[in-house]
Chains A and B, each alone.
Chain A
Amino acid sequence: MKEFKIGMNAKLDMLKFKNLGEEREKEIEKSASTSVKDSSLTNTLAGILHPKGIKVQVSHIVKETEDTKSFYLKPVKLESMPPFLAGQYVTLAVTIDGRTYKRPYSISSSPNSLEMYRITVKKEKNGIVSTYLFHECEVGSTFNLLGPFGHFTYQPLRDSKDVVFLAGGSGITPFMAFLQNQKFLEKIHSLTLFYGAKSEFDLIFKKEIDEICSKNKKIKVIYVLSEQKRSDYAYGFIDEEKILQVGVENKSFFVSGPIKMYFSLNEIFKKLDIPNKFIRHEIFREVPEDLVEQNFQLTIKMNDKTLTIPCNGKETLLQSMEKGRVKTLAHCTVGECGFCRSKLLSGEVKTEDSCVREADKEAHYIHPCVTYPLSDVTIEVPIK
């Protein structure tokens, strides 16, 4: 074989090969044995943006309408709340009678003011948490807050500069963060807000909205009342005719409101051939219609123990876990975020899996927050 060499000659190259390790040794000897750096600003920032939980205190409460109240939450330990994007939500952990419930609420305050977050809660019929917040929660009450989370945000690369917000009832809350966000308003050309409610007395934040609109010519607001006729408001529901009046061509639609509204708007979007990319939904949970009231057993295998609690065909596994005083990992409670991801070990269930990974579906992973039992069920959750 002919001699193959890189440097002076092949023998020196061989020596160089053998010395690779020794050279490394020499470098190590020269290096300081001071204590090792284990993080940087980037890690600190990750901690600020995504805290594991924030202890908050109610600093004041404002009654907005007959059945809605806003709660201003300030951090107990942190200097300020984490930065968030308009449209994002937080999950409030509320403990009532020893049971901890997690509920997502859109942040309705401005992303520019981080001294506190504002969430706005509508009292729901039979709503354990909303009733508690409405009647029991006082200034000074403390909670654990998770988040902020969520993708109901404006993305300049994807979304049109002409934006239409469609809000129904308390679905107005995420839009309040957008309306108060100067950076967002600078990015867009026009914004039309349709805001539907039963009557003028059910319009939350009307004064705030009118004030913002009066200062910014880009924004136009159309209030739509379904149970009250007034000459200065539109009447009925947010329907095709009203939407067509502002035009749909090349516009981004952001929808936040009751489920019925999603369904009726989706029909309209389909009919008008609006591409998926221009339709954004706030998170929501569709409750299946064919649920049957029947009692079953839910067995939960955790890292170190196993628990069995009652569950019911009309309630999600998460609801049963909350009732049964089991610690849960839930954040969004509507099947989207995946935090409560659990493995179904046995039993039949009815579940929603559009946000479950392909491989997870095959391996029988479910999101308990959108899963209803059809038999006794055993799940495995990575909690202690």
Chain B
Amino acid sequence: MENKEYDVIVIGAGNAGLVSALTLQKKGKKVLLLEKGRVVGGLASSFIRGRFEFDTSLHQLCEFGTKEDSDAVYDLFSRLEIIDKVSVETLPEAFAVYTLDHKEKYVMPVGKDAFLLKMEEYVPGSTKSMEEFFSLCEETKDALSYLNESKGHPETEVLMEKYPRFMVVAPYSIEKVLKKIDMPLKAQEILCSYWSYLGSPASKLSFIHYASMVYSYITKGPVIFKKSSHAISLLLSEEFVKNGGTLKCLTGVKEILTQNNEVIGVVTDSNEKFLTRHILANLSPNVVYGQLIQNDFVPDKAKSLTNLRNFGARGVSVYLGLNKTMKELGLENSTYFVYHSLDSDREFKRMHDVFSGNLAATLKNTSPDTSSLVLTSLIFGDAFDKLVTKENYFEIKEKLAESLVSSFEKATGMNIHDAIEEIEVATPVTFARYTGHPEGVIYGYLATSHDNLLPRIMNEENEVFIKGLRFCGGFGSRLSGYSSTYINGEMEALKTLGEMENERV
């Protein structure tokens, strides 16, 4: 008979779920990882159409680096002892950004010096403020590691002494800080091209959140997994099992059991009961508090917080297998942003429409004579819900694909249509189907004012509303994104471990 009690149950084998499960298992805990899908990875997956394998969602991974100059994810994979099995490719440039309204094009390289030089070329006189920006980034990075190490209890004196400028800029938006350091507007706009990766306009996005990401992309270079994100998800799950962990796919959780506001176990959708005092939920608090725990047992404050939060971006992705190489297509960049303008407030507003035409794209050669292009457009608010019915769904899907492809062609001036050999389209409905996230949200909660990175991290310990229940992943304290969710998986695992140790004392 199987012993149905576990030290920790991780619900959902997304990036954070996988990392946290492996971390805890390696620390000698008995871990059960439950995944409702057939395959692990959540959004970090891949699928095949014809002779192409498409990554479901990764544009590029940041915070990676190299062996000699490693960043957070590299270090994490080293600690998990999987780094030797991970093969990545560092992309040659940071990004190419195009505007549809003014036909602008800026291509930004990797490397701080090259980035500064290029920016000076595009925006003469920008160097001084750009240097100041980078120096703020460095202090921010150090301060954030200190905050992480302090496990939510930083000493104000240390912060004030060692990271004074961080403390000053931390509460403000990236836009406000860049203005303050007198960065020319055009340079601000180019630098903020990545805003859509974090799903909030520059005026709302916290400086430290944006700065940490941009700093990593520019100094370490964006990387992609050579085989696919699925390869990493599979690797994490196989390591977890090799270390003695129990993984059950096709096993959803129907109920989280609590007693006196403490976690005591879960019931699966096939009515199996597993006991535990610690749950790491790699899914949305909306589903946990709204579906998995009986309403009477959900503390009011948990409901208030969840009701307060706004969902982040939904997404539409068009996956194209092309029968031409990048060179034959006349396209040399790997990462593209296409916006109507570089004014992120205006574009954020525009993207409350389903057919904004704004997009992010990744292009790579997949064989000596083929390439793949993935176009992703974000949708904010409930526009998609309002537009789509079961009657018009397929038509809308076609129109979305058409609109993204023509927007990309318009921006770059290159023909994509004629090279399309395979095409697949994912909409919020697709993401809802595979993740179960409310509204098919892919970016967790909107990163804005009280729900930005710092307030989430600072209040995290006060927001463990039910003892033993923690959240990890894109809805968690490190927000959405590949590197964030990997890192957050380990953070939450260590906090859970800490709780266990305290119990023993």
| A residues apposed to B, CB below 8 Å | 1, 4-6, 10, 13-14, 16-21, 23-25, 27-43, 45-46, 48-50, 82-83, 85, 151, 155-158, 183, 275-277, 303-304, 329, 338-339, 341, 355-360, 363, 382-384
A151 vs B315: C-alpha distance when bound (angstroms) = 21
B349 at the interface (CB under 8 A from A): no
For B234, give its contact among A36, A157, A360 (CB under 8 Å): A360
For B440, give its contact among A17, A25, A29, A46 (CB under 8 Å): A46
For B168, give its contact among A5, A50, A156, A357 (CB under 8 Å): A5
For B167, give its contact among A14, A23, A357 (CB under 8 Å): A14
The answer to whether B390 and A83 have CB atoms under 8 Å apart is yes
Per the 8 Å Cβ criterion, residues 179-236 of B in contact with A are 180, 227-228, 230-231, 234-235
Distance from A269 Cβ to chain B, minimum over Cβ atoms (Å)? 14
The answer to whether A6 and B459 have CB atoms under 8 Å apart is no
Contacts of A37 in B (CB 8 A): 286, 290, 307, 438
For B455, give its contact among A23, A36, A38, A43 (CB under 8 Å): A23
For B428, give its contact among A42, A276, A338, A339 (CB under 8 Å): A42
Distance from A275 Cβ to chain B, minimum over Cβ atoms (Å)? 6
The answer to whether A46 and B303 have CB atoms under 8 Å apart is no
Contacts of A29 in B (CB 8 A): 304
B76 at the interface (CB under 8 A from A): no
Per the 8 Å Cβ criterion, residues 244-295 of B in contact with A are 248-251, 270, 284-287, 289-291, 295
Contacts of A383 in B (CB 8 A): 250
A339 vs B250: C-alpha distance when bound (angstroms) = 11
The answer to whether B304 and A33 have CB atoms under 8 Å apart is yes
Q: Mark B431-473, 1 if CB is under 8 A from A, else 0.
A: 0110010111000000001110011001100100000000000
Contacts of A82 in B (CB 8 A): 390
B170 at the interface (CB under 8 A from A): yes
The answer to whether B303 and A35 have CB atoms under 8 Å apart is yes
B238 at the interface (CB under 8 A from A): yes
A329 vs B249: C-alpha distance when bound (angstroms) = 12
The answer to whether A157 and B290 have CB atoms under 8 Å apart is no
B300 at the interface (CB under 8 A from A): yes
Distance from A81 Cβ to chain B, minimum over Cβ atoms (Å)? 11
Contacts of A4 in B (CB 8 A): 164-165, 168
B305 at the interface (CB under 8 A from A): yes
A40 vs B388: C-alpha distance when bound (angstroms) = 12
Distance from B225 Cβ to chain A, minimum over Cβ atoms (Å)? 9
6 pairs of residues in contact across A and B, judged by CB atoms under 8 Å = A5-B168, A17-B171, A36-B285, A37-B307, A357-B231, A359-B231
Per the 8 Å Cβ criterion, residues 146-179 of B in contact with A are 156, 160, 164-165, 167-172, 176-177
Contacts of A14 in B (CB 8 A): 160, 167-168
A30 vs B429: C-alpha distance when bound (angstroms) = 32
The answer to whether A34 and B432 have CB atoms under 8 Å apart is no
Closest to A363 in B: B234
For A357, give its contact among B46, B385, B395, B428 (CB under 8 Å): B46
| B residues apposed to A, CB below 8 Å | 2, 38-39, 46-51, 53, 156, 160, 164-165, 167-172, 176-177, 180, 227-228, 230-231, 234-235, 238, 248-251, 270, 284-287, 289-291, 295, 298, 300-301, 303-308, 314, 323, 382, 384-385, 388-391, 393-395, 398, 401-402, 405, 417, 419-424, 428-430, 432-433, 436, 438-440, 449-451, 454-455, 458-459, 462
A94 vs B304: C-alpha distance when bound (angstroms) = 49
The answer to whether B250 and A28 have CB atoms under 8 Å apart is no
Contacts of B384 in A (CB 8 A): 42
A42 vs B431: C-alpha distance when bound (angstroms) = 9
The answer to whether A151 and B323 have CB atoms under 8 Å apart is no
Given contacts A20-B454, A24-B459, A39-B439, 17 further A-B contacts (CB under 8 A): A23-B449, A24-B458, A25-B459, A27-B450, A28-B308, A35-B290, A35-B295, A35-B298, A37-B290, A38-B284, A43-B439, A43-B440, A356-B48, A357-B47, A357-B48, A357-B230, A358-B228
Closest to A339 in B: B38
Given A31-B307, A151-B49, A359-B234, are A10 and B168 also a contact pair (CB < 8 Å)? Answer: yes
Contacts of A276 in B (CB 8 A): 50-51, 323, 421
Given A13-B167, A24-B455, A33-B301, are A157 and B308 also a contact pair (CB < 8 Å)? Answer: no
Contacts of B238 in A (CB 8 A): 363
Distance from B220 Cβ to chain A, minimum over Cβ atoms (Å)? 24
A363 vs B237: C-alpha distance when bound (angstroms) = 12
Contacts of A48 in B (CB 8 A): 390
Distance from B55 Cβ to chain A, minimum over Cβ atoms (Å)? 11
The answer to whether A13 and B168 have CB atoms under 8 Å apart is yes
Distance from B263 Cβ to chain A, minimum over Cβ atoms (Å)? 18
Closest to B35 in A: A382
Contacts of B235 in A (CB 8 A): 359
The answer to whether A42 and B388 have CB atoms under 8 Å apart is yes
Contacts of B176 in A (CB 8 A): 6
Closest to A183 in B: B395
Distance from B51 Cβ to chain A, minimum over Cβ atoms (Å)? 8
Contacts of A46 in B (CB 8 A): 429-430, 432-433, 440
Given A13-B171, A36-B307, are A42 and B227 also a contact pair (CB < 8 Å)? Answer: no
Contacts of A83 in B (CB 8 A): 390-391, 393-394
Contacts of B38 in A (CB 8 A): 329, 339, 341, 382
The answer to whether A40 and B385 have CB atoms under 8 Å apart is yes
Contacts of A25 in B (CB 8 A): 459, 462
Distance from A255 Cβ to chain B, minimum over Cβ atoms (Å)? 14
A82 vs B390: C-alpha distance when bound (angstroms) = 8
Which of A29, A45, A303 counts the most chain B CB atoms within 10 A?
A: A45
A384 vs B249: C-alpha distance when bound (angstroms) = 10
Contacts of B405 in A (CB 8 A): 157
The answer to whether A49 and B390 have CB atoms under 8 Å apart is yes
Contacts of B420 in A (CB 8 A): 155, 157-158, 277
Given A1-B164, A355-B48, A382-B250, are A45 and B388 also a contact pair (CB < 8 Å)? Answer: yes
Contacts of A16 in B (CB 8 A): 171
The answer to whether A382 and B249 have CB atoms under 8 Å apart is yes
8 tightest A-B contacts by CB? Answer: A38-B290, A359-B231, A36-B290, A33-B300, A382-B249, A31-B308, A277-B421, A21-B458
For B172, give its contact among A6, A41, A156, A303 (CB under 8 Å): A6
Closest to A26 in B: B450
For A360, give its contact among B50, B230, B289, B462 (CB under 8 Å): B230
Contacts of B289 in A (CB 8 A): 36, 38
Contacts of B323 in A (CB 8 A): 275-277
Distance from A24 Cβ to chain B, minimum over Cβ atoms (Å)? 4
Distance from A37 Cβ to chain B, minimum over Cβ atoms (Å)? 6
Contacts of B160 in A (CB 8 A): 14
A362 vs B290: C-alpha distance when bound (angstroms) = 40
A33 vs B301: C-alpha distance when bound (angstroms) = 7
The answer to whether A358 and B295 have CB atoms under 8 Å apart is no
Contacts of A277 in B (CB 8 A): 323, 419-422
